[in-house]
Amino acid sequence: MNDAALDLRGVLCPLNWVRARLALERLEPGQSITLRLDPGEPLDSVPRSAREEGHAVSESGTSVTIVKR
């Protein structure tokens, strides 16, 4: 069950991760957000950035779900 969703297709790095972080900031720990990302660099680096900050991340195609730490 997702608590938020954000379509970040067409948003370049690092602005996509900035927007995801700002959205995460508004969530409580344990809540999740699902992102739609472009393949390539976005799908490569946004999940990595999320994991580096300690969030749980699952990927399914171009869809990435982040559970706030």
Partner 1 sequence: MTLAEMEIERYSRQLVMPEWSGAAQERLGEARVVVVGAGALGAPVCAYLAGAGVGWLEILDSDHVELSNLPRQPLFVEGDVGAAKAEVAAARLAAGNTGVRVEGRRVRVEEDNAAALVDGASVVVDCSDSFATRYAVNDACCARGVALVEAGVLGLDGLVLSVRPGETACYRCAFPVEPPPGSVPSCREAGVLGPVAGLVGSAQALEALKLLTGVGEPLLNRILQIHGRDMTQTIVSVRRRAGCPSCASRPAPTHAVV
Which residues form the interface with partner 1 (CB under 8 A)?
A: 14-15, 17-19, 21-22, 25, 52-53
Give residue for tokens 């969530």.
27
Measured from the CB atom, the residue of 13 and 62 that comes closer to partner 1 is: 13
Measured from the CB atom, the residue of 5 and 15 that comes closer to partner 1 is: 15
Measured from the CB atom, the residue of 1 and 52 that comes closer to partner 1 is: 52
The Cα–Cα gap between 1 and 32 comes to 8
Q: How far is the CB of 67 from partner 1 (least distance, A)?
A: 17
What tokens does 49 get?
A: 């950035």
CB 33 within 8 A of CB 23: yes
